[in-house]
Amino acid sequence: MNLADAQVSMLERTSREWLRTAEQRREPTWLSERRQQARDYFHSHGLPNSKHESFRFLPLNAVASKQLLRAPASADEENFSVNLRNYSASIGLLDGVPVGGAVATQPGLNVNRATQLLATEPQRIEPFLGRVASPINGFAAMGLALFEDAWVVRVGTGIEVQLPLEVVVRQQQGGFWTIPRLLVILEPRSRLTLLERQAAADVDAFGLTTGVFELVIGAGAELTHVRLATHGGEQAELSVAAAEVQAGGRYHSWVGSFGGGLTRLDTQVRLVGAGAGVVLDGLYVVRHRELVDHHTAIFHESVNTTADETYRGIVDDEAQAVFDGVIVVKPGAQQTNAQQYNRNLVLSDTAIVHTKPQLEIEADDVVCNHGATVGRLDTRQLFYLQSRGLSAEYAKHLLTVAFASELIERCPIPQLIPTIQRRVASHLGHKEALEW
């Protein structure tokens, strides 16, 4: 056993102790059974390490070498500000604990804590909670086995929520392993835009977040999900977002990852109904010694389903980026139309990119394409811009901006575009004003 594996095993022993000493909860039998299944998975698989194929590029020893405590069961709501001027609801997950919950007047939009629904109307979430996002690794299993509470958002049949719903995920202090959880349920023909802000911790100290976000899109419903992640250099996140899309439903995910010591997001989408569709857009910008890892999996399980996936990355200094995406076409999922592309711009000799787009096709009447590129700035374009009087640094910035602009302009919340542009420029260390 190497040193890294020994360190992971040390964290694993702590995890097993937490599972052993977890308090018995008064909750429905179905949830207790799902928690037990998660415990069984953990005891069989443990936490992932560098020997696991999908985690081979992650320095998990950086997580395992830290002394982590379970997050407190309560959070200081005074640290969460509510703004309903631009949102239909504003909710928070501080140290994994639901806070806030202010909801504007919007018939058909319901926001509740899971503990409240489990005590009063457990049947409303039984088909979804802990089922849509089944444990895919030891971190996710711990999240299901030990989570204390979650936000549950439900939109009624035929309801179109006009303003986005904001959810803020943040650690208030370092040294903890936090488990934020969110369940979103869109009933048939409803519409919702979700803005997820993964904010930097209040203090510059190591902390681990393993969030689980379960998204249910009913027949003919549409969920737009924008995720902006700006973590501190001492933070690690290994989260899962799992969506299930029914017949004629649509899920559009736009992910922006801008920094953080270690950021890993697993996005899994099941297209279970005829005519269901998904769009996955992602932009990641990393520098210094940051690492970002996007794993995506789209499962076509019915006829006439569509997928459009585009991820772009900008990698500088000694940073690393990982993209691992798979599109799976199940037997009988005829007339599938799917495409997947990952493009990366490397700005230094020491930056590293690992990209692996994949297709697994078990049907014969499909149209599927995939591809990936890793490249540098075009020296001819740089020379041309400098010949027109631009400085070398400014020419480099302009070409970098052009590479990012296509993804930024695809953001489905247009009012966020200037914020994203500033965040990208700031994280790249641009000192001159940029024109977008």
Q: How far apart are CA 170 and CA 235, in angstroms?
A: 11
Q: At what angle do helices 138-146 and 29-45 cross, to 10 degrees?
A: 150
Residue of 290, 359, 342, 278 lying closest to 318 (CA atoms): 290
Q: Taking Cα atoms as reference points, which of 269, 233, 4, 33 lies closest to residue 130?
A: 33
CA distance 361 to 237: 31
Beta-carbon count within 10 A of 13 CB: 10
Residue 384 domain-assigned? no
Give Cβ neighbours of residue 204 (< 8 Å, ≥ 6 apart): 174, 232, 233, 234
Q: Are 434 and 397 in contact (CB under 8 A)?
A: yes
Q: What is the crossing angle of helices 3-21 and 138-146, to 10°?
A: 20
Q: Does residue 424 sit within a domain?
A: no
Instruction: Provide, for the chain, the percentages of residues in helix, strand and coil under a 3-state DSSP scheme, each rounded to the nearest 5.
Output: 25, 40, 35
Q: How far is CA 244 from CA 63, 112, 169, 203, 268, in A?
A: 31, 21, 22, 36, 9
Total count of domains within the chain: 1
Query: Does residue 76 lie in a domain region?
Result: yes
Q: Which two tokens stand for residue 412?
A: 């489905």
Specify the residue for token string 């969460």: 80
Which domain does 156 fall in, by range?
A: 3-377
**Core vs surface per residue 359-386: b (16+ CB within 10 A) or e:** bebebeebebebebebeebeeeebeebe
SS3 readout for 248-260: CCEEEEEEEEECC
Q: Please report the sign of the dihedral spanned by the C-alpha atoms of residue 211, residue 204, residue 323, residue 282.
A: positive
Q: Rounded to an integer, what distance in angstroms lies between the CA atom of residue 42 and that of residue 171?
A: 25
- Full-model pTM: 0.93
DSSP structure class, residue 332: T
**Residues 59, 166: Cα–Cα separation, whole Å:** 32
Q: Is residue 393 part of a domain?
A: no
**Integer CA distances (angstroms), 167 to 194, 226, 332, 340, in order:** 8, 10, 38, 28
Whether 385 is in a domain gets the answer: no
Tell me whether residue 185 is in a domain: yes
The alpha carbon of 335 is separated from its chain's Cα centroid by a whole number of angstroms, namely: 28
| DSSP symbols for 246-289 | -TT-EEEEEEEEE--SEEEEEEEEEE-STT-EEEEEEEEEE-TT
Is 392 inside a domain boundary? no
Which residue shows structure tokens 């804590």? 113
* Structural element, H or E, at residue 153: strand 151-155
Please list the pLDDT of the chain residue by residue as tens digits (436 residues): 443 444 445 678 778 888 888 777 889 999 999 999 999 999 999 888 888 889 999 988 777 777 788 888 777 777 677 777 789 989 999 999 999 877 777 889 999 999 999 999 999 999 999 999 989 999 999 999 999 999 999 999 999 999 999 999 998 877 889 999 999 999 999 999 999 999 877 677 788 999 999 999 999 999 999 999 998 888 899 999 999 999 999 999 999 999 888 999 999 999 999 999 999 999 999 999 999 999 999 999 999 999 999 999 999 999 999 999 999 999 999 999 999 999 999 999 999 999 999 999 999 999 999 999 999 999 999 999 999 999 988 899 889 999 999 999 999 999 999 999 988 988 887 654 445 4
398 domain residue, yes or no: no
The DSSP output letter for 160 is: B
SS3 403: helix
